Amino acid sequence: MIVRQFSSRGVTSHLCARFKETQTRQVMARPSSDLAAFREVFSKAKHVAILTGAGVSAESGVPTFRGEGGFWRKWQAQDLATPGAFSQNPSRVWEFYHYRREVMLTKSPNSAHVAIAECEARLQKQGRRVTVITQNIDELHRRAGSTNILEIHGSLFKTRCMSCGHVGVNHKSPICAALEGKGAPDPNTSDAQIPPQDLPRCEQGGCSGLLRPNVVWFGETLDSDILTRVEEELDLCDLCLVVGTSSIVYPAAMFAPQVAARGIPVAEFNMEETPATMRFRFHFQGPCGTTLPPALARHNNEP
């Protein structure tokens, strides 16, 4: 049983807690990069959990707004993606998310997204199950064709009402008239200072409450219902893939190591090794769009 420490309401967002890389790691054999050996394990798997992170989306040209050069105007994501920032300046925060939504509408799923979606559809016909557990909020997995998705950090294309709590899907472009043409990332751009009444508003039964992006912000807890479903999938899986994730942010950083601790094969696909690499059976280094498709391709003996 996966321990429930990451599925309680008190768990703080992945955005505000990081792995201590100085933790003492158990000495283990180096993971294998033998594709044929992975394919043999994959051919027998009945319930595959695929954990994905920003590295998958980066290959589609999705900006992260983190690290050196990762600024929107003069701010990074951690400056804007907080309840406090939204309370103090909802216009600025909505400009930031409007920009991100508009950028995402210009991006397309890459070969890694497509390989995962095709794998899910193919295995489903064989009575096998693939579940995507993603930290990404861009919906590229959904656009690639994946259907069994758990979005632990929410979605850019969902909103939540600050008054009535209604969560709704919203792909409008722009999301409201006042944001049309706003959100330019140039550091010399001035805030639009849109009045709150002109920002996205709830359309449920005359509510008209202020909407916010339905994403997990720094300092917020993750959805306990989603995490319970994640726990269930990880308990059931007989193969786990970790794709494009740094394995340094909680609670997602705990998922795959806890699966590996049960003796379940875990395969990591990433541009570089991570603090969790030595816990896994397989590690395939390089762009996910290059390494993942051949790993998930149809076997000759598949129906």
176 is in an annotated binding site: no
Q: Which residues have a Cβ under 8 Å from the Cβ of 290 and sit 6 or more positions away?
A: 111
138 is in an annotated binding site: yes
9 is in an annotated binding site: no
- Dist. CA 274–CA 63, nearest whole Å: 21
73 is in an annotated binding site: no
Catalytic residues: 153
226 is in an annotated binding site: no
58 is in an annotated binding site: yes
**Backbone phi, psi, residue 257, to 5°:** -60, -35
Contact 275, 21 (CB under 8 A): yes
Q: Could you tell me the sign of the dihedral formed by the alpha carbons of 76, 81, 84, 90, in that order?
A: positive
- E strands, the chain, are 47-52, 129-134, 149-151, 154-161, 167-169, 211-215, 239-243, 266-270, 282-285
29 is in an annotated binding site: no
235 is in an annotated binding site: no
- Dist. CA 14–CA 249, nearest whole Å: 5
246 is in an annotated binding site: yes
Q: Which residues are annotated as a binding site for Zn(2+)?
A: 161, 164, 202, 207
Q: Which residues are annotated as a binding site?
A: 53-72, 97, 100, 135-138, 161, 164, 202, 207, 244-246, 270-272, 288
Q: Which residues are annotated as a binding site for substrate?
A: 97, 100
Q: Which residues are annotated as a binding site for NAD(+)?
A: 53-72, 135-138, 244-246, 270-272, 288
